[in-house]
Amino acid sequence: MASQPGYRQLFRTPGAWSFVLPGFLARQPFAMLTIGIVLLVQHTTGSFGAAGAVSAATGVAMALCAPQAGRLADRFGQRTVLVPGALLHAAAVGALITLALVGAPLWALLLIAVPAGATVPQVGPMVRARWAHRLDGGPLLPTAAAFESVTDEFTFVVGPVLATALCTGVHPAAGLLAEAALTVLGGLLFAAQTRTAPPAHRDLSGTTGRRASALSVPGVRVLIPAFLGIGAVFGGMQVSLTAFTQAIGHPGANGLLYGVFAGGNMLAGVACGVIAWRSAAHRRLPVAYAALALVTVPLWFAATAGYAPLLGAVGLLVGLAVAPAMITGFTLVERLVPAGARTEAFTWLTGSVALGQAVAATSAGQLADAFGAAAGFTVPLVGTALAALAVGLLRGRLAPRADAEGRVVARGAGHRVPAAVD
């Protein structure tokens, strides 16, 4: 490790603040959507099962549709996709609120949950694409990836708290109403920053032709299952910590324990932003995932002991291990994927996190109901172990193509044939 240009230099990047601030506002609703749906649907139906089903439908729809939105943003520009997407999302959420308040059947709520999730604006990947465009592969790119990881985690700390406070203190639908309003406001403000947006790449040659997907890059196909493991940590920890604190008779400790976990993630993310690793990112990633899987092992034992401070300490270690794995993966995208497919590639990864989170939350809840609160903590272990196995076995696909002198040759989306380097 060595020191590298840090956050001060990062924010001296021309135009950085113009998209960082509205980007933070625009991505805040993403963290409010799930908990807002759970609280509203549980209030109107009296069933946590129904609330979880509607929330999961939203998450799955978002995970499946996010890459398509990212691909459209690469092809037609971020503003063209973001503005109608934000408006459609607000309309779908408004319809979901209306149906829930009038006591609509579960099938109707599940039906409207699909467009509500499918139209979630992919602001996080768009911000990452802007950093990659502005920094153009420079030494500050890992710092930008670290900052975005910290921002995401801070969003998932503030968003659920805000939504919960509105739903419990104002009205059960207030959290979702705020989510829809922030989506429109933040989305329009972010879309207005056209000077910092990456250019649209309408085709392969600049004139006509069919664009290749980011999935044509082998490394992206490896990172997708790897990021499912990251989602398994988030979803498994959220549900399992809730079940654990209820089992020990201190449900109010849930926020504190999850805050410790999230705080570890943010702390590690900040540290990663000021470290320049001497080894390449594709060599660090298998080590990072192996470490993440290893630190999830004690979760079950700490939960079985029923001692909250011990579980909090283990949760802190897990949080510290999440950020290096996530940041290294996002850094690899810039190295592997040409500019014309980066937003799509980023959305594949964020969609994988959302899908892993939805599956893990459902699995952890079922295990906790059937076998006790501690059983849910096996979900992060299984998810990260499978991710570490995939990264370890397929690590050769993560290396950027290079010639004998070490110069990288892109072979991803937007390139018909390998390029020769003299």
pLDDT in tens, 327-366: 888 878 777 877 677 778 888 888 888 888 878 877 887 8
- For the chain, how many structural domains are there in total? 2
Phi, psi (5° rounding) for residue 275?
-115, 135
CATH classification of the domain holding 312: 1.20.1250.20
**Tell me: the pLDDT tens digits for 15-54?**
888 888 888 888 878 778 877 887 788 788 877 667 777 8
Please answer whether residues 338 and 413 qualify as being in contact, where contact means their C-beta atoms are separated by less than 8 angstroms.
Answer: yes
Higher pLDDT: 345 or 177? It is 177
Average pLDDT, the chain: 81
Write b or e for each residue in 361-388: b if 16 or more Cβ atoms lie within 10 A of its Cβ, otherwise e: bbbbbebbeeeebbbbbbbbbbbbbbbb
166 to each of 35, 172, 181, how far by Cα in Å?
11, 7, 13
Q: Return the structure tokens found at 214.
A: 């980011």
Question: Radius of gyration of the chain from Cα atoms?
Answer: 21
Q: Is residue 350 part of a domain?
A: yes
Same-domain status, 262 and 382: yes
Q: Return the structure tokens found at 205.
A: 């040659």
Same-domain status, 40 and 188: yes
Where in the sequence is the domain holding 306, given as residue range(s)? 213-399
Mean pLDDT to the nearest integer, 127-135? 82
Same-domain status, 226 and 320: yes
Mean pLDDT to the nearest integer, 300-313? 91
pLDDT at 18: 83
Same-domain status, 244 and 334: yes
Give yes or no for residue 310 having a pLDDT over 80. yes
The band of 258, judged by pLDDT with boundaries at 50, 70 and 90, is confident
304 to each of 35, 79, 245, 261, 370, how far by Cα in Å?
27, 50, 12, 18, 15
Q: Is residue 12 part of a domain?
A: no
At residue 207's C-alpha, the angle toward residues 206 and 208, to 5°, is: 115
The band of 130, judged by pLDDT with boundaries at 50, 70 and 90, is confident
Q: Return the structure tokens found at 236.
A: 């498994």
Q: Is residue 144 part of a domain?
A: no
Model pTM?
0.75
Same-domain status, 168 and 271: no
Same-domain status, 239 and 119: no
> How would you classify residue 316: left for phi > 0, otherwise alpha for psi between -120 and 50, otherwise beta?
alpha
d(CA 246, CA 230): 25
Write b or e for each residue in 252-278: b if 16 or more Cβ atoms lie within 10 A of its Cβ, otherwise e: ebbbebbebbbbbbbbbbbebbeeebe
Same-domain status, 312 and 383: yes
> Where does 257-337 show beta strands of DSSP type E?
275-276
Q: Is residue 404 part of a domain?
A: no
Q: Is residue 270 part of a domain?
A: yes
Same-domain status, 275 and 376: yes
Q: How many CB atoms lie within 10 A of CB 170?
A: 12
Same-domain status, 268 and 375: yes
pLDDT at 211: 57
Give me the half-sphere count of Cα atoms (radius 13 Å) on the Cβ side of residue 187.
25
Same-domain status, 176 and 70: yes
Same-domain status, 105 and 27: yes
> How would you classify residue 147: left for phi > 0, otherwise alpha for psi between -120 and 50, otherwise beta?
alpha
Q: Is residue 248 part of a domain?
A: yes
Q: Is residue 389 part of a domain?
A: yes
Q: Is residue 412 part of a domain?
A: no
Same-domain status, 292 and 177: no
**Tell me: the pLDDT tens digits for 370-398?**
888 899 899 999 999 999 999 989 888 88
Residues ≥6 apart with Cβ < 8 Å to 116: 33, 58, 61, 89, 92, 93, 95, 96
Give yes or no for residue 419 having a pLDDT over 60. no
d(CA 379, CA 15): 41
